[in-house]
Amino acid sequence: MPKRNDATDGMVVSLDMVRPYDFAVSLRSMRSFQPAQPEQGNTLRLAARIDEIPVLIEVSQGPGIKNKLIASSVQNVRASHIRRIAEWVLFAELDLMPFYRLITKNPKLAAVTHPLYGLKPMRPISLFEMAVVAITEQQISLAAAYGIRSRLIRRFGEPINNEWVFPESYALSKATLEELRSCGLSRQKSQYIQELASKITSGTLDLDVLKTMDDDKARETIMGLRGFGRWSADYILVRGLARPDCVPIDDLGVRSVIGEYMGNAERLSSLEVTRILEPFRPYRGILAFYLLAAHRLKLTPGR
DNA sequence: TACCAGGTAAAAA
DNA sequence: TTTTTACATGGT
């Protein structure tokens, strides 16, 4: 039941998460995949634009109530919007139980995933942002892509309480190619981004329809867009939509981590990864995600 | 300094 | 149809 929060004149919403869910583990896992950041505490901060207004949503555990999640905003915005965004990002509707039942048949894997009980992948607020991220990360190092995105965000995004709202498609469609290039994008990538942003702004393209498509149809749709090849399509399915059965089998990290926990400790070939994951349909993506998280969280204890 | 890093579209062969 | 090329930044 949405409530006015008198102290802040904002909105507070309790989230409806399909259990099991562990917010703390999910937050630690998500941060372990990001470049090192200043300490951010136990709160997830989501900057979004809602009804033309920049809004900061904060998600945290209700006081003393382990299973209750609270999303709040200081800005005055409809509870339904806060709920929709937070439940999308946290993957509220994902039911982990069938995955856990599947994994108990393999004691070795069950031992790896047990400490992560309740872990769900987090998804970016918008698929437009995800698509731009995919383009920036093509070919160049993640560090280089991160720098380019920082400049894009500071130039075309909006600040809200020390966070930044990722640029609207409108802002990037209006940007000149020179402006985009000055952020560090190649001529080619600037065109991809401008074209994508223009299609979305004009209403020709709605990336949210991907949410209603099965994996193959979504992949095919993304690859129909200029600038998006096989790698980018898979990247969006895995990271942007967190499809439970999707795995980036060419990814070096995935090949290493599957080898570490399910193989001979060596990095495997893409073919071997495909074969070894076969029995774990339709949760191959969740399994790969758990193994990556187990690996990352071990390497960076205390984060 | 030179090379490579979680690619892609377009040109050339 | 398959192979080659240009492209931009940051780390090593």
Q: pLDDT by residue (tens digit) across A87-115?
A: 999 999 999 999 999 999 999 999 999 99
Written as one string, the DSSP assignment of A33-83 is: TSPP-S--TT-EEEEEEETTEEEEEEEEEPTT-TT-EEEEESS---HHHHH
Share of chain A above pLDDT 70, in %: 94
Distance CA A46, CA A74 (A): 12
Report yes or no: A94 and A244 within 8 Å, Cβ to Cβ. Answer: yes
Query: What pLDDT sits at residue A303?
Result: 36
Model confidence at A5: pLDDT above 70: no
Model confidence at A227: pLDDT above 50: yes
Query: What pLDDT sits at residue A301?
Result: 40
Better-scored residue on pLDDT, A293 or A251? A293
Model confidence at A10: pLDDT above 80: no
Query: What pLDDT sits at residue A294?
Result: 94
What is the average pLDDT score of chain A?
A: 92
Nucleotide nearest A151 (Cα, C1'):
C9
Query: What pLDDT sits at residue A33?
Result: 87
Nucleotide nearest A188 (Cα, C1'):
C7
Model confidence at A7: pLDDT above 80: no
Query: What pLDDT sits at residue A9?
Result: 58
Lowest mean pLDDT among A49-58, A105-114, A259-268: A259-268
| Residues whose C-beta lies under 7 Å from strand B | A 33, 137-142, 144, 186, 188, 225-233, 235, 238, 248, 251-254
Mean pLDDT of the A216-241 span? 96
Query: What pLDDT sits at residue A6?
Result: 46
A32: part of which helix (H) or strand (E)? Answer: helix A23-32
Model confidence at A299: pLDDT above 90: no
The number of CA neighbours under 13 Å toward the Cβ of A220 is 5
Q: Which of A142, A140, A130 is nearest to A35 (CA)?
A: A142
Enumerate the nucleotides of strand B whose atoms come under 7 Å of any protein CB.
4-10
Distance A139 CA to B2 C1' (A): 18
Instruction: Take residue A129 and report the two structure tokens written for it.
Output: 């942002």
Enumerate the β-bridge partners of residue A180: none
Report yes or no: A54 and A160 within 8 Å, Cβ to Cβ. Answer: yes
Tens of pLDDT, residues A137-167: 999 999 999 999 999 999 999 999 999 999 9
Lowest mean pLDDT among A5-9, A165-169, A220-224: A5-9
Instruction: Take residue A136 and report the two structure tokens written for it.
Output: 């920036």
Model confidence at A3: pLDDT above 60: no
Distance A185 CA to C10 C1' (A): 13
Distance CA A238, CA A247 (A): 7
A212: part of which helix (H) or strand (E)? Answer: none
Nucleotide nearest A187 (Cα, C1'):
C7
Confidence band, pLDDT 50/70/90 cuts, at residue A65? low
Distance A195 CA to C2 C1' (A): 28
Site of tokens 């703390």: A24
Distance CA A117, CA A81 (A): 29
Site of tokens 């400049």: A151
Query: What pLDDT sits at residue A136?
Result: 97
Nucleotide nearest A139 (Cα, C1'):
B7
